[in-house]
Structure 1
Amino acid sequence: MHEMSLVQSVVETIEQAAHTHHFRRVKTVWLEIGELSSVEPEAMVFCFDAVARNTIVDGAKLEIVSVPGEAWCPHCARTVPIEDLIAQCPDCGACPLDITDGRQMRIQELEVE
């Protein structure tokens, strides 16, 4: 389960930010997860409490913000929604498309004290 190591990286990043910005407790973490990222949001939530234990995020709430997949279709010259990394344009059937959104995982926001 690679989500465990991803959550560990998120917690480490937050701890570094706490040191830099001098906050002592995190109440809520908003985490963007792209639908094309191969990251399972449910697994991230499951791992979060265990990894957060005895850290600055212990007891914090994890909010997952889902980011839909999007790609640029060079044939239609516009952005189209996609649900898979290997996708055709839903309008014209063109392939390949340039993926523009939905692969990321990033900390969007923190509520801190």
Structure 2
Amino acid sequence: MHEMSLMESVIDIACETARQHGATRIKSVRLDVGSLSHADPDALLFCYEAVRHGTIAQGATLEINRVPGEGWCMNCEKTVALADRFGPCPDCGRHRVQMTAGDELKIRDMEVI
């Protein structure tokens, strides 16, 4: 389960960033997780519960914002929804689509004290 190592990294980054800004506790963390990122949001939540203990994020809540897949179709010249990483354009059916959203896993923001 790679979600465990992902959440360990998220907690490490959040705690280090909070400390650099003089915070002693993290109250909440918001993540953006793309639907095409191969990270399971439910598994991330489960792992978060395990890895935050003993850190300044111990009591922090986690909110996961699911980001839908999007791409730019070079044939239609417009943004289209993507259900698969290398899927075709849902309008023209061609595979000339450059993914523009949906593969991210990033800390959007956090609330600290």
Equivalenced residues, count: 113
Q: CA deviation at 1:104?
A: 0.4
TM-score (norm 1): 0.97
2: distance between equivalents of 1:27 and 1:88? 41
Matches within 5 A, 1:13-92: 13-92=13-92
Identity over aligned residues, as a percent? 44
Q: Which runs of 4+ in 1 moved over 6 A?
A: none
TM-score (norm 2): 0.97
2: distance between equivalents of 1:68 and 1:77? 19
Gaps (5+ residues) in structure 2?
Answer: none
8 Å contact 2:24–2:112 — kept in the other structure? yes
Gaps (5+ residues) in structure 1?
Answer: none
1: distance between equivalents of 2:49 and 2:15? 15
Q: CA deviation at 1:96?
A: 3.0
8 Å contact 2:75–2:96 — kept in the other structure? no
RMSD over aligned CA atoms reads 0.7
